[in-house]
């Protein structure tokens, strides 16, 4: 690739050659996988990578296998030049932007599936999603072979899936979760926020408000069942067209908690559709 503000490669061979050179120089490598159309949340992961390694690779790849038919694969926002400029500003050393053909060559026939933590929440709402995520992340980690890989906690279930696959497959990489960055009104930063209209944008912030209110209610003694019902009612009243889930789960294995009072730490998870935008978020309790 040319005319980009940082070095960039499209092939596995070129990626491995770059990483090999750094390793021969005794440098640690951090890896930040993304689907592009970057925001400050992504850049915070790059900066976290810089704290843990001398070199940072970021990938930009809109992965078709994690989109079901009828989802927004074709419409997903893309702007490679913009992404490259943002990565350069955050101190990224290399952009890896493979083609679909490089990632899934003709005859590709392998799927990685992580049981248990993939099953609830988005595993129900998007049944094929995590097989696509686990497969592409396994490939990316094996292609780059970093010392550490950084993933955002906004996609908390995804983070648990990736931690499990790295452990189960003995991948020689440390998986680190980076904090969720938010707008001033609490909305978690997301590439899909670009879909929100001017009238939908303030409504979208109600998702995080509902999560925080549910967490406070649980702390004050409300049952899990009551907090979940109130959260769903809040989102319905705000104008969300569909609520895929609003649930309290164990933060380590995503087992169901409740319906009585919360015993021990957990995490609230929510996914809801506003207009044409599906928003997800989570909050500790």
| Own/partner long-range contacts of 16-20 (Cβ < 8 Å, ≥24 apart) | 16/143, 16/144, 16/145, 18/57, 18/94, 19/55, 19/57, 19/144, 19/145, 19/146
CA distance 58 to 35: 10
Distances (CA, A) of 58 to 14, 44, 141: 14, 12, 11
Bridge partners of residue 148, in order along the sequence? 30, 174
The structure tokens 């976290």 sit at 48
pLDDT at 2: 56
Asked whether the beta carbons of 10 and 97 are under 8 A apart, the reply is yes
Contact in structure between 13 and 20 (CB atoms under 8 Å): no
Residue 110, Cβ neighbours under 10 Å: how many?
8
CB 118 within 8 Å of CB 31: no
Q: Is the pLDDT of residue 169 over 60?
A: yes
Give the model's pLDDT for residue 3: 79
Show which residues are catalytic. Answer: 42
Residue 167 CB burial class (10 angstroms; 0-12, 13-18, ≥19): exposed
**Mean of pLDDT values over 183-192:** 97
Report pLDDT for 144.
98
Token pair for residue 42?
Answer: 């992504």
pLDDT beyond 70 at 72: yes
pLDDT in tens, 222-274: 999 999 999 999 999 999 999 999 999 999 999 999 899 998 889 999 999 99
Q: Where are the alpha helices (DSSP H) in 90-239?
A: 100-103, 122-125, 129-144, 156-168, 200-204, 206-219, 224-238
Asked whether the predicted pLDDT for residue 1 surpasses 60, the reply is no
From 234, 220, 215, select the one nearest 272 (Cα to Cα).
234
Domains, the chain, ordered by start: 8-178 (3.40.50.620), 191-284 (3.30.1300.10)
pTM of the model: 0.96
pLDDT digits (tens, 9 = 90+) for 106-138: 999 999 999 999 999 999 999 999 999 999 999
Query: DSSP readout, 210-261?
Result: HHHHHHHHHHTT-BHHHHHHHHHHHHHHHT-SEEEEEEEE-TTT--B--SSB
Mean pLDDT, rounded, of the chain: 97
Per-residue pLDDT at 160: 98
């Amino acid at each position: 690739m040319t005319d980009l503000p940082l070095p960039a490669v499209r092939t596995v061979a070129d990626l491995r050659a770059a990483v090999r050179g750094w390793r021969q120089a005794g440098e640690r490598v951090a890896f930040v996988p993304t689907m592009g159309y970057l925001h400050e949340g992504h850049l915070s992961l790059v900066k976290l990578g810089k704290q843990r390694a001398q070199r940072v690779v970021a990938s930009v790849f809109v992965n078709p296998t994690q989109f079901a038919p009828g989802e927004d694969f074709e419409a997903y926002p893309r702007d490679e030049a913009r992404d490259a400029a943002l990565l350069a500003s955050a101190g990224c050393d290399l952009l890896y932007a493979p083609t679909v053909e490089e990632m899934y060559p003709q005859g590709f026939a392998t799927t990685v599936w992580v049981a248990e933590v993939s099953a609830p929440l988005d595993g129900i709402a998007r049944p094929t999603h995590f097989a696509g995520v686990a497969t592409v992340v396994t490939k990316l980690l094996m292609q780059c072979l970093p010392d550490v890989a950084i993933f955002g906690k906004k996609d908390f279930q995804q983070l648990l899936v990736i931690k499990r696959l790295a452990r189960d497959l003995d991948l020689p990489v440390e998986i680190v979760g980076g904090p969720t960055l938010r707008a001033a009104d609490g909305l978690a930063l997301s590439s899909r926020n670009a879909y929100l209209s001017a009238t939908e944008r303030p409504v979208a912030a109600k998702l995080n408000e509902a999560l925080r209110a549910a967490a406070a209610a649980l702390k004050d003694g409300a049952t899990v069942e009551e907090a979940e019902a109130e959260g769903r009612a809040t989102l319905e009243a705000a104008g969300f067209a569909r609520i895929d889930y609003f649930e309290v789960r164990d933060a380590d294995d995503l087992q169901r908690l409740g319906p009585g009072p919360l015993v021990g730490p957990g995490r609230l998870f929510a996914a809801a559709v506003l207009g044409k935008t599906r928003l997800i978020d989570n909050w500790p309790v």
